[in-house]
């Protein structure tokens, strides 16, 4: 069993799945990654997928529990998923392994290559042409707002608030061969500078920095 700040742990649940859980909670009450629950019908129409340009090779630099990686892979993208928290990575890797062994999910699972590490350091070392680099850093919980889903609260307790998100975006701008996409809550300011385009969904928006766009050039200026 591994813990961060003695609050969140990863452990095996009664069904043999790795779960993320608050320390002291009963076994089986945690969050595990089960991609059988994710409906992929109509996935190509999602704002996330359209913001990332549809099919292509995408780096998901903030993989978390893999929900967005799975949707992108379900839409046909080849995804390199990077996660720096060993605790979160362990739970995602377990879910991906089970998906690989499931004949209905294995084709999608095979499109996801999971790596452990800090994307700010890894991005400059990754060779190849990527159509998009996708960032979904944790943002601070808002007081007075509806309670976030359990999985989000648990990942936040495990990893904190990702206060270095601007540095990650700058690293992406220094290495991107395609667009950069950043998920933000409605009403939150953009990271570093305004984007070239935005895609809205009911709960969030996606800021898109296009390689030939003013936002991308500004990002690069602020990186140099
Ligand atoms: C909001 S969660 C991402 C949720 C994810 N999009 C999903 O669908 O499950 C943010 C995750 O990004 C990870 N992260 C933040 N900055 C990172 C970095 N520089 N390198 C790798 N992982 C990072 C955090 O550890 C956390 O697990």
pLDDT tens-digit map of 109-158:
999 999 999 999 999 999 889 999 999 999 877 665 667 888 998 999 99
Whether ligand 1 lies within 6 angstroms of the CB of 65 is answered as yes
Nearest CA owner, ligand 1 atom 14:
62
Region 62-87: what's the mean pLDDT?
98
Q: pLDDT-based confidence at 32, cuts 50/70/90?
A: very high
Spatial distance between the Cα atoms of 201 and 71, rounded to a whole number of angstroms: 14
pLDDT of the residue at 3: 43
User: Has residue 154 been placed in a domain?
Assistant: yes
What pLDDT does 143 receive? 61
State the CATH number of the domain containing residue 74. Answer: 3.40.50.150
Structure tokens given for 55? 């099919």
Quick check: helix, strand or coil at residue 223?
helix
- Whose alpha carbon is nearest atom 17 of ligand 1? 62
Residue 217 Cα to ligand 1 middle (Å): 25
Q: What is the pTM of this model?
A: 0.95
What are the structure tokens assigned to 208, written together?
Answer: 């898109």
Domain range for residue 183? Answer: 33-223
| Segment 148-162, tens digit of pLDDT | 888 998 999 999 888
* Distance from Cα 132 to the centre of ligand 1, integer Å: 16
- Nearest-angstrom CA–CA distance, 150 and 156: 10
- Any ligand 1 atom below 6 A from CB of 30: no
Is 198 among the domain residues?
yes
Residues whose CB falls within 8 Å of the CB of residue 149, separated by 6 or more in sequence, listed in order: none
pLDDT at 140: 73
User: What would the two tokens of residue 73 be?
Assistant: 């892979």
- Residue 9: inside a domain: no
Residue 13 lies in a domain: no
Can you state the angle between helices 165-175 and 214-223, rounded to 10 degrees? Answer: 110
Residue 4 lies in a domain: no
Query: At a CB cut-off of 8 Å and minimum separation 6, what does 218 contact?
Result: 192, 193
Number of separate domains in the chain: 1
């Amino acid at each position: 069993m591994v813990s961060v700040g003695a609050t969140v742990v990863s452990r095996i649940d009664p069904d043999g799945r790795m779960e993320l859980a608050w320390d002291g909670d009963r076994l089986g009450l945690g969050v595990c990654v089960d991609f059988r629950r994710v409906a992929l019908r109509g996935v190509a129409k999602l704002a996330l997928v359209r913001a990332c340009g549809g099919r292509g090779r995408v780096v998901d630099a903030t993989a978390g529990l893999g929900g967005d990686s799975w949707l992108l892979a379900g839409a046909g993208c080849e995804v390199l998923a990077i996660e720096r928290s060993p605790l979160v990575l362990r739970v995602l890797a377990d879910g991906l392994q089970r998906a690989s062994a499931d004949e209905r999910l294995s084709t999608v699972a095979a499109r996801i290559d999971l790596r452990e590490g800090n994307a700010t350091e890894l991005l400059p070392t990754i060779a190849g042409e990527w159509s998009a680099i996708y960032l979904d850093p944790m943002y601070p919980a808002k007081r007075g707002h509806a309670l976030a889903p359990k999985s989000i609260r648990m990942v936040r307790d495990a990893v904190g608030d990702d206060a270095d998100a601007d540095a990650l975006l700058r690293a992406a701008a220094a290495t991107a061969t395609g667009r950069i996409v950043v998920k933000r809550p409605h009403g939150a300011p953009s990271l570093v500078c305004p984007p070239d385009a935005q895609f809205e969904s009911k709960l969030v928006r996606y800021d898109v920095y296009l390689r030939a766009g003013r936002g991308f050039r500004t990002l690069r200026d602020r990186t140099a």
